[in-house]
Chains A and B, each alone.
Chain A
Amino acid sequence: MVQDPSRYKAFKAADFLADEYFATTRLAKNVEDVRFWESLISLYPEVAAEMELADQWIGLLRQQPVFKSSLNNEARWQRMKQALPSYEKQQNRRHMIRRYSRWTARVAAVLVSVFMLYEVSQMGTQVTNTAYGERRSMHLPDESIVQLNSNSKLKYVRDWKSDKPREVWLDGEAMFEVQHTAIKNRLREDDYFIVHVGELSLTVLGTKFNVKDRRDLIEVTLIEGSVQIENGFGLKRVLHPGETFVYNSKQDTEQVITEKIDKALSWTRGEMLVEHQNLSDIIEVLEDNYGYSVELKDSSLLQKRLTGVVPLTKVNDILFVIKHTMDLRIDVDRKKITINNNN
Chain B
Amino acid sequence: MDKELLWWQSFRMGEEEAFKLLFERYSPLLFNYGYRFTREENVIEDSIQEFFMKIWNNRANLNDTVSVKNYVYKAFRRTLLIHIERANRKQNIPKEHLSFEIELSHDTKIMRKERLEEIKVQLQKALDKMTPRQREVIHLRYFEELSYEEIADIMGLSVKDLYKLFYRAMDSLRKNIAPFSLLVVLALLFEAKSS
B95 contacts partner chain A, Cβ-Cβ < 8 Å: no
Contact of B186 with A by CB under 8 A: yes
Pairwise interchain contact A56-B185, C-beta atoms closer than 8 A: yes
A18 vs B44: C-alpha distance in the bound complex, in angstroms?
A: 30
| Chain B contact residues: helix, strand, loop or mixed | helix
Taking CB atoms, residues of chain B closer than 8 Å to A20 are: 148
Cβ contacts under 8 Å, B49 to chain A: 76, 79-80, 83
A64 adjacent to B103 (CB under 8 Å):
yes
Are A14 and B32 CB-contacts (below 8 A) given A27-B145, A49-B186?
A: no
Q: Which residues of A contact B145 (CB under 8 A)?
A: 27, 62
Does A33 sit within 8 A of B, measured CB to CB?
no
In the complex, chain A residues 22-67 whose Cβ is within 8 Å of any chain B Cβ? 23, 27, 48-50, 52-53, 56-58, 60-67
Least CB distance from A165 to B in Å reads 51
Residue of A nearest to B138 (CB): A61
Give the contacting residue for B23; candidates A23, A27, A70, A77; CB below 8 A. Answer: A77
Best-buried of A12, A58, A77 by chain B (most CB within 10 Å): A77
Q: Does A298 contact B (CB under 8 A)?
A: no
A77 and B138 alpha carbons, distance in the complex (Å): 31
Q: Is A87 a contact partner of B182 (Cβ separation < 8 A)?
A: no
Given A65-B106, A76-B27, decide whether A14 and B182 contact each other with a Cβ distance below 8 A: no
Q: Is A235 positioned at the interface, with any CB of B under 8 Å from its CB?
A: no
Does B98 touch A at the CB level, under 8 Å? Answer: no
| Chain B residues whose CB sits within 8 angstroms of the CB of A324 once the complex forms | none
Which chain A residues lie closer than 8 Å to B104 at the CB level? 60-61, 64
- Binary flags per residue of B130-144, CB closer than 8 Å to A gives 1, else 0: 000000001101110
Chain A nearest CB: distance from B21 CB in Å? 11
Is A183 interfacial (CB 8 A cutoff)?
no
A68 in contact with B28 (CB, 8 Å): yes
Once A49-B182, A79-B49 are accepted as A-B contacts, the answer to whether A57 and B123 lie under 8 Å apart by CB is yes
Residues of A near B48 (CB, < 8 A) are 76
Contact A18 B170, CB 8 Å, known A49-B182, A84-B53, A87-B53:
yes
Q: Which residues of B approach A to under 8 Å, CB–CB?
A: 20, 23-24, 27-28, 31-32, 35, 41, 44-45, 48-50, 52-53, 56-57, 102-107, 110, 116, 119-120, 123, 138-139, 141-143, 145, 148, 166-167, 170, 173-174, 177, 181-182, 185-186, 188-189
The 8 A-B pairs with the shortest beta carbon distances in the complex, nearest first, are A61-B142, A67-B35, A18-B170, A14-B174, A69-B31, A87-B53, A53-B185, A49-B185
Binding site for B on A (CB under 8 A): 12-15, 17-18, 20, 23, 27, 48-50, 52-53, 56-58, 60-71, 73, 76-77, 79-80, 83-84, 87-88, 91
